[in-house]
């Protein structure tokens, strides 16, 4: 029954994040496409544009899809498109941070606001608050149920023995791929860390894997798209894989530096730090990444 509760909470979380993205897409797709086209003159502006658009929409998938459309239409080239996607990686970290905030039972206020906006004929705002309420409700159910599940010796020993960064990265990659959501993966990992169910090193390793997992799902999506679309997704996948691999040695240094700290939002903040650093450094390797991608995809 406990595992069924976990699956139900996870389904609610994934459903609500999916519909939140859809709600934003339906109301902003044309405007975003115009902004992406107008403000991508160079690498830096493309990078900043990706951050800005994703901060507003909180949907890296939307930004990636629109970038694919612009590249397929020959309106922008691959290197600028990759800069946009790398910027979007930073913008979407805010989603992970927001949904991990501990708001207690105050999420019921979001449902009340949702009902209020229905009565004043503001259905879009009503949907927004209702979906946000479902997100926080599902995380609350997950958090409370995980306590009892971790009393199971098999489950607790599995996570205790998963100390290798590569094992954590593998868990994060698989889970993000299966759920199609890095935000959900980061949020659930953050909740487990806040309740002392996993340590910071494992949590950060899972976070790194989540960055790869969502890109793999994009690669599968691009199989039915144009060659240009495949190039963008593969370049993004290479960027995330290389970024994670190069960060592994520094993970030990990072964890040792904060070893004595018990920072409540460690995983979410580490996610932001990782994406900012890898994004800025990635700008210096855009041309090599695009060259490798063009060599791999003909």
**Token digits for 144?**
């409370």
pLDDT computed for residue 153 by the predictor: 47
**Token digits for 125?**
């705002």
pLDDT computed for residue 49 by the predictor: 85
Q: How far apart are CA 140 and CA 95, in angstroms?
A: 17
Q: Over the stretch 44-79, which tens digit does the pLDDT of each residue have?
A: 888 988 888 777 666 676 677 778 777 777 778 888
Averaged pLDDT for residues 121-134: 79
pLDDT-derived band of residue 131, with 50, 70 and 90 as boundaries? confident
What global pTM score does this model have?
Answer: 0.73
List the beta strands (DSSP E) in the chain. none
Radius of gyration of the chain (CA): 19
Q: How far apart are CA 291 and CA 49, in angstroms?
A: 23
Question: Mean pLDDT for the chain?
Answer: 76
pLDDT computed for residue 217 by the predictor: 63
Q: Over the stretch 142-179, which tens digit does the pLDDT of each residue have?
A: 666 765 655 554 445 555 555 677 888 888 888 887 77
Averaged pLDDT for residues 107-112: 80
Q: How far apart are CA 85 and CA 267, in angstroms?
A: 22
Cα-to-chain-centroid distance, residue 219: 16
pLDDT computed for residue 30 by the predictor: 63
pLDDT computed for residue 213 by the predictor: 81
Alpha-carbon distances, residue 121 vs 108, 127, 241 (angstroms):
20, 11, 46
Under a CB-based contact definition with an 8 Å cutoff, are residues 12 and 134 in contact?
yes
Q: Which of 187-201, 210-224, 270-284 has the highest mean pLDDT?
A: 270-284
Looking up tokens 């115009």, which residue turns up?
Answer: 34
Q: How far apart are CA 173 and CA 31, in angstroms?
A: 32
Averaged pLDDT for residues 263-278: 84
Cβ atoms within 10 A of the Cβ of 263, count?
Answer: 12
Going 20 to 21 to 25 to 28, the CA torsion angle's sign is: positive
| Percentage of residues in the chain having pLDDT higher than 90 | 1
Averaged pLDDT for residues 287-296: 88
Q: Over the stretch 21-36, which tens digit does the pLDDT of each residue have?
A: 666 666 555 666 666 6
pLDDT computed for residue 28 by the predictor: 56
Looking up tokens 């010796």, which residue turns up?
Answer: 153
> CA 184, 61, 17, 151: dihedral to nearest 10 degrees?
-10
pLDDT computed for residue 154 by the predictor: 45
Q: How far apart are CA 63 and CA 33, in angstroms?
A: 9
**At how many degrees (to 10) do helices 60-72 and 227-257 cross?**
140
pLDDT-derived band of residue 105, with 50, 70 and 90 as boundaries? low
Averaged pLDDT for residues 245-266: 74
Averaged pLDDT for residues 242-265: 75
Averaged pLDDT for residues 205-222: 78
Q: How far apart are CA 49 and CA 199, in angstroms?
A: 35
Q: How far apart are CA 263 and CA 255, in angstroms?
A: 12
pLDDT computed for residue 256 by the predictor: 72
For residues 197 and 90, the model is more confident at 90
For residues 7 and 245, the model is more confident at 245
Q: How far apart are CA 1 and CA 4, in angstroms?
A: 5
List the beta strands (DSSP E) in 8-77. none
For residues 134 and 152, the model is more confident at 134
């Amino acid at each position: 029954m406990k595992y069924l509760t976990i699956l139900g909470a996870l389904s609610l979380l994934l459903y609500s994040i999916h519909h939140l993205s859809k709600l934003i897409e339906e109301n902003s797709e044309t405007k975003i496409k115009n902004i992406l086209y107008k403000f991508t003159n160079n690498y830096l502006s493309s990078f900043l544009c990706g951050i800005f658009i994703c901060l507003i929409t909180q949907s890296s998938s939307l930004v990636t899809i629109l970038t694919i459309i612009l590249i397929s239409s020959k309106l922008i080239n691959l290197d600028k498109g990759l800069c946009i996607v790398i910027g979007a990686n930073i913008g979407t970290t805010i989603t992970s941070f927001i949904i991990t905030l501990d708001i207690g039972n105050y999420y019921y206020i979001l449902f009340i606001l949702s009902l209020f906006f229905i009565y004043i004929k503001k259905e879009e705002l009503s949907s927004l608050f209702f979906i946000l309420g479902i997100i926080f409700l599902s995380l609350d159910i997950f958090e409370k149920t995980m306590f009892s599940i971790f009393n199971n010796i098999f489950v607790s020993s599995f996570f205790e023995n998963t100390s290798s960064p590569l094992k954590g990265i593998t868990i994060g990659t698989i889970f993000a791929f299966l759920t199609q959501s890095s935000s959900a993966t980061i949020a659930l990992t953050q909740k487990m860390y806040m309740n002392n169910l996993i340590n910071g090193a494992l949590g950060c390793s899972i976070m790194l894997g989540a960055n790869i997992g969502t890109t793999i799902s994009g690669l599968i999506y691009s199989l039915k798209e144009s060659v240009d679309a495949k190039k963008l997704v593969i370049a993004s996948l290479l960027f995330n894989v290389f970024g994670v691999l190069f960060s592994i040695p520094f993970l030990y240094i990072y964890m040792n530096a904060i070893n004595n700290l018990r920072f409540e939002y460690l995983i979410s903040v580490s996610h932001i730090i990782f994406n900012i650093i890898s994004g800025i450094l990635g700008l210096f390797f855009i041309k090599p990444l695009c060259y490798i991608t063009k060599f791999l995809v003909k």
